[in-house]
A and B are shown apart, each in its own frame.
Chain A
Amino acid sequence: MNVDRVQVESLVPLAIYFLLVLGVVGVMLAIPRFVAQRRRSQARDEPFESGILSVGDTHLHLGVHFWPIAIFFVIFDLEAIFIFAWAVAVREVGWPGYLEMLVFVSVLLAALVYLWKLGALDWRTRRQQLQDSLLSERG
């Protein structure tokens, strides 16, 4: 057996397991089709909003402040990939690699500090900020 070649055969158990998982999930979804009760009532087909009649649709621009999180995540995840590659070969690349990584992580931390200082990592609403500043003034 040549270890340097891709061994598809070693994946067979994983494939069987995956198919079994799909089967279990499929059965779980299928059972209620046969045994479940059916009901009809007036408000059955309305969105549940704690008993208040739903107004408008869900196309609201309600979470713009979530958007930077997604960007930060993508970029930090990419940086994490470089760290993964370093972590597994840390002994082989030795101190030069360590120094390189130190610079890399410093850049990462500098970016984090910069965002922190800008207030990009502050997800409080304006009211919460106001409350907090009032509280700190009072001591």
Chain B
Amino acid sequence: MLLTLFYTAAAVAVISTALVVTQLNAVHALLYLILSLIASAVVFYLMGAYFAALLEVIVYAGAVMVLFLFVVMLLNLGQRTIEQEQAWLQPGSWRGPAVLAGVLLTELLWVLATGSAAETGHVVSSKEVGIRLFGPYVLAVELASMLLLAGLVGAYHLARRGGRLR
């Protein structure tokens, strides 16, 4: 039961990610990306990382993807964007990356096939996450806050210089 659900969710994630790449319309591609993120949240859940699963939905599907959608809506050029996408999807331009990605994939499959199976299904409680974060990894949290501060200030200044803000 658990394994069936796990592989179904994983398959949904992989297929929808492939559809993200092949979609011509940017908004449709984003919808598949959201679906893919929700599917990977289910995978996290089934591996026992409940907290990570919900955070995946809140942060990635609920926040980062909204940002993407926002940008697409602000910069949408309609038919022109679709034509551009079509040009990018010509076999000539993706053949090289696809071959290289295939090499990585075989490597990954080989590691998975020979390596020992990781333990799954061990439930991680949210308390555990909090205790670890504010115990041994306290410095990482502090660094993260600095990083986010830099991101915030940097993003604002870039946006102000790039676009006419008001």
Contact = CB atoms under 8 A, between A and B. Distances in A.
Contacts of A77: 58-59, 62-63
A115 B164 contact: no
B133 A86 contact: yes
Interface string A44-78: 00000000000001110101111110111111011
Interface residues of B, number: 53
Contacts of B5: 8
Interface of B is mostly: helix
A97 B138 CA distance: 8
Given A8-B1, A115-B152, A92 B166 contact: no
B74 to A, nearest CB: 6
Interface of B: 1-2, 5, 45-48, 51, 55, 58-59, 62-64, 66-67, 70-71, 74-78, 121-123, 126-127, 129-131, 133-135, 138, 141-142, 144-146, 148-149, 151-153, 155-156, 159-160, 163-166
A137 B47 CA distance: 63
B156 A71 contact: yes
Interface stretch (A18-26, A28-36, A106-114): A106-114
A79 to B, nearest CB: 6
Given A59-B78, A66-B74, A70-B70, A89 B134 contact: yes
Interface string A94-129: 001100110110011011001100101000011000
Given A67-B163, A97-B134, A108-B145, A118 B47 contact: no
A97 to B, nearest CB: 4
24 contacts: A4-B123, A6-B47, A9-B1, A57-B78, A59-B78, A65-B166, A66-B70, A67-B74, A68-B165, A74-B59, A74-B64, A75-B148, A77-B58, A85-B130, A85-B133, A86-B130, A87-B130, A88-B127, A89-B129, A92-B127, A92-B131, A97-B135, A100-B141, A101-B134
Contacts of A110: 149
A70 B145 CA distance: 18
B131 A71 contact: no
B131 A111 contact: no
A18 B71 CA distance: 31
A82 interface: yes
Given A64-B74, A67-B159, A78 B59 contact: yes
A39 interface: no
A111 B152 CA distance: 8
B63 A89 contact: no
Given A68-B156, A81-B55, A103-B142, A8 B123 contact: no
